Amino acid sequence: MISVLETVLSPKDTIIGDSLPEHAVQTFINAANFIPASECGGQRMSFEDFREWCNLVPSLKKFLGSLLTSPVTGISGRKIPQLLYSENINPSLLIMRKEYAWHIAGALQQEEAQAWALLYNNSVHGLSFNTFMGNLASHCFAADRN
Q: What is the DSSP string of 10-42?
A: -GGGSPTT----HHHHHHHHHTS--BPP-TTSS
- pLDDT value, residue 16: 41
Write down the domain spans for the chain.
Answer: 2-145
Mean pLDDT of 100-112: 86
- pLDDT value, residue 17: 45
Which tens digit of pLDDT belongs to each residue from 31-65?
A: 888 877 665 667 788 888 888 988 888 888 888 88
